Amino acid sequence: MEFLNEGLGLSEVNPLHAEFKAYTQVAKALSAEDRSTLGFWKIYEHRFPILAKVARKLLCASGTSCDVERLFSRAGLICSALRNRLLPKTIQCLTTMHYYYAEEEKVKSSTREQAAIGRAKRFASLTSTLLVQSPDSYISDSDSEPGDF
């Protein structure tokens, strides 16, 4: 019998042991494409409830510190020398609101970009259609008079 920390025995009766054995069998049987971490736990969360809880806690940790750095940067802009008496709850609310407003601006700017791209495409097709339909009225640089500009 194997022993874990604090004298807990890992035996066949232990539900975690049985769940872990079943998990390893299922994981070995899957191909590399089917072993997607998030997809696997979404599919098998009912079959492995204990391990799924552990996986949710471990997999939610960020691999980088970028999010934390952005949060501190945002909080630093909110907590200035003139606003040094804000409560932590107020700072939390303000940083959250700032995040949501920034996300809204991203959506608005992407919508504006899509509209601009659509206008550019329509203009390009219109001008190319005009050039194809009336090639005689198009004046090239070689056809223009030197004093026209």
Cα gap 44→87, rounded to integer Å: 43
- Report the C-alpha gap between 41 and 4 in whole angstroms: 25
pLDDT at 135: 53
* Widest Cα–Cα separation across the chain: 100
Q: What tokens appear for 44 in the block?
A: 């098998």
**Which residue do the tokens 């659509």 mark?**
118
Q: What is the pLDDT of residue 127?
A: 66
For residue 2, the surrounding DSSP H or E stretch is strand 2-3
Bridge partner list, 12: none
pTM (2 d.p.): 0.38
Question: Cα dist. 103→34, 54, 96, 100 in Å?
Answer: 33, 31, 11, 5
Measured CA to CA, the distance from residue 104 to residue 119 in angstroms comes to 23
pLDDT for position 137: 52
- Show Cβ contacts of residue 133 under 8 Å, excluding neighbours closer than 6 positions: none
Cα–Cα distance, 98 to 68 (Å, whole number): 15
pLDDT tens for the 149 residues of the chain, in order: 555 555 555 555 577 888 888 888 888 888 877 776 777 888 888 999 988 888 888 877 777 788 788 888 888 888 888 888 888 888 888 888 888 888 888 777 788 788 888 787 777 776 666 656 655 554 555 555 555 55
